[in-house]
Amino acid sequence: MRFDKPGKIVMKSLLICLVLAGSAGSALATEAAYRCGDGTAVRAVFSAPGSTGSVRLTFAGSGETVTLPQARSADGGRYADPGTDFWVKGRRARFSRAGAATECKTK
């Protein structure tokens, strides 16, 4: 029977925890496809919520991608930077950019 040194066991355990934590972070990302009232089709990939939360929006047809940081919200999930806002609640979202807004819902 082979016995590992206690320090070696602790290091192996720590390494396993770090690997699993990294995998869990990417597993928490989720995505949804939206169709907006103005005809825009957008795919949203949400990172895990929190101080570094964000959404990456990809617009069908143009391939344009916009990444917005998570912003404070009293209700739903809000992602914004100056001039662009993506506010999600349930299956609906509101996308605003350069003063124009459109209502969206998941496909």
Would you kindly state where each structural domain of the chain is located, as residue ranges? Answer: 28-106
Q: Is the separation of the CB atoms in 70 and 53 below 8 Å?
A: yes
pLDDT at 31: 94
CATH number for the 28-106 domain, one of 2.40.128.200, 3.40.50.300, 2.40.50.100, 3.40.640.10?
A: 2.40.128.200
Rounded to the nearest angstrom, the gap between the alpha carbon of residue 7 and the centroid of all alpha carbons in its chain is 38
CA–CA distance, 28 with 30 (Å, rounded to integer)? 6
Q: Rounded to an integer, what distance in angstroms lies between the CA atom of residue 58 and that of residue 75?
A: 24
| pLDDT, tens digit (0-9, with 9 covering 90-100), for 11-68 | 443 334 333 334 344 456 799 999 999 999 999 999 988 888 999 999 999 989 999 9
- Whole-number pLDDT of residue 28: 62
